[in-house]
Every structure is written in C-alpha cells, then in structure tokens.
Amino acid sequence: MQKLGKGIMYALIVIVSLFMMIPLLFTVIGSFANYWGSSLFASGWTLKWYREVFHYYGATILFTLVIAVSTVIINVLLGTMTAYQFSKTNSRWMMIMEEILTLPIAVPGVAIALALIQTYAPLREAGWLILLGHVIVTFPLIFRTVLGTLRTKNFKALDESAATLGAGPFYRFFYVILPSIKSAVLSGAMLVFLLSLGEFNMTFFLYTPLKVTLPVGLYEAYSSLRIEIGSAYTVVFLVIAVPLMFILHKLNQSSTYTRGGV
C-alpha cells in the first residue's frame, strides 16, 4: 500500500511537470523553426530569429539588466539597513510602519505606475521613473527577508553583545550583522533581481519608445512581430532567469542549513 501511494505521488509529479514544461518546450522549438504552424517540425531550422531579437531588442535587454542591477544595489542598501533598524524594536508604531513599507507588493502595478506618473512625470523620459517604480515594488522582498532573519534571538543577542563591547550602530551593521546574514541578503537580492527582470504590469505604463524593458519588449514582439521572434525572445529571457532561480534555490538551502546549525 505504501509503494502504491509513492507511485501515485511520483506519477502526479511527472504529470504536473509535463503540463508546465511542454508549452515551454514548444516555445524553445518554435524559436528555431522557420515557420510556426502545423508544420512546425517540418519547416526547417534557423537561428535568424535570435539575430533579429538582438538586432531589434539588444538595447532593451541591456537597459533591463541595468535597471535590475541598479534596483538590487539600491534595495540591498535601503532594505537591509531599514530591516536592521526595525529588528531592534517592537514598538507599535514601528509595526504599523512595517506594514506600510510592505504595501507595494499588494498594490496593483497600474496604480503605482499612475501615482508615479502624476507625482514625478519629468523623470519618465530618461527612464528614471522605471527605476523608481522597480525599487518601490521590490523593496518589500528584501526588507521582509532580512527582517525575518534579524528577528531571530541569536542575531539580536549578537547585536547586543557588540553594543556592549562599544561598537557603534554602523560598525555593528557592516562588520557584525551583515556578514552574519549574507545568505539572507543574497537571497533577497536575487528575489529583487528576478522580480525586476520580469516586472510588466507597472512598467507597461511607465516605459517610453526609447526606454523599454525586456517583458514589455516581449509583449511587443508577440503582438506586432512574428511569433517566432517572440519565441526566441522568450528563450533569451529564460536563459537569463532560469540560472538565477537555480542560484536562489541553492542560497535558500544554504540559508536554511545555516539557521538550523546556529
């Protein structure tokens, strides 16, 4: 009976995995096909769609990476330092502020985009508004990740011990706390990067013809160009995102092991 239960479980995992992977497999195949249609496998193979992607969207891919990396750098600094300050108190007002800082992850992207346009419209043309929007939307990810780690008893005791020995707040943060939570910081940074890389809803209302991010470009590729180009574009996106997801998984495993061993 136990073997039968395991067999059913494994069969279910295989079915769900195939259900999710087959569409991606067809997308990858379609990116190399001369023509996407009923004769997909018989149409012949080519790399020209990838050449077209980098010809039309090379600047878009580079701009997206710049935005994502900049978002990570800003939020690593802001998110970790803010979480450090919040972890040292259980004040009712700080708890309310904590919920306010987490709100952007629950607010629809279109609402954030329109609010930013109304408030900081001059920043839109140069692409700064996209960066600001990505910082706001992804901030709760690293803030919550680091705060949850810092609120464990061991890190609070570590901070108090360093303070007892005369270390100031900046020294404690950069030389005592930060090295101790590097797995959580890296995990949060990777989440920020992945969300920034794939953010569409808000960015769609903030982009300009000269400042386009990868997901918006992907939408344009599917809606205005051939589906083969859109498929190649999707594969380029996956080549960037999938290794990062694997690294994030490894970081989470390392973080869990570290916390379990402390």
pLDDT in tens, the chain (262 residues): 566 667 778 788 888 888 888 888 888 888 888 777 656 666 678 888 888 888 888 888 899 999 999 999 999 999 998 988 888 777 888 888 888 888 888 888 889 999 999 988 888 888 899 999 999 999 999 999 898 888 876 777 787 788 888 888 788 888 888 888 888 888 889 889 989 988 998 999 998 888 889 888 888 877 776 788 888 888 888 888 888 778 777 766 665 545 554 4
Between CA 259 and CA 252 the distance in angstroms is 11
Domain boundary pick from 46, 64, 83 = 46
In sequence order, what are the residues at sequence separation of 6 or more whose Cβ sits closer than 8 angstroms to the Cβ of residue 97? 86
Q: Is the same domain home to 148 and 244?
A: yes
Between CA 60 and CA 211 the distance in angstroms is 7
Q: Is the same domain home to 2 and 106?
A: no
Q: Is the same domain home to 164 and 190?
A: yes
Measured over the CA atoms of residue 105, residue 234, residue 117 and residue 125, the dihedral's sign is: positive
Give residue 183's domain range.
47-261
CATH code of the domain covering residue 218: 1.10.3720.10
Q: Is the same domain home to 40 and 169?
A: no
Between CA 262 and CA 248 the distance in angstroms is 21
Domain count, the chain: 2
Extract the tokens encoding 36. 């996407």
Q: Is the same domain home to 34 and 52?
A: no
Q: Is the same domain home to 16 and 123?
A: no
Domain boundary pick from 46, 62, 79 = 46
Q: Is the same domain home to 57 and 83?
A: yes
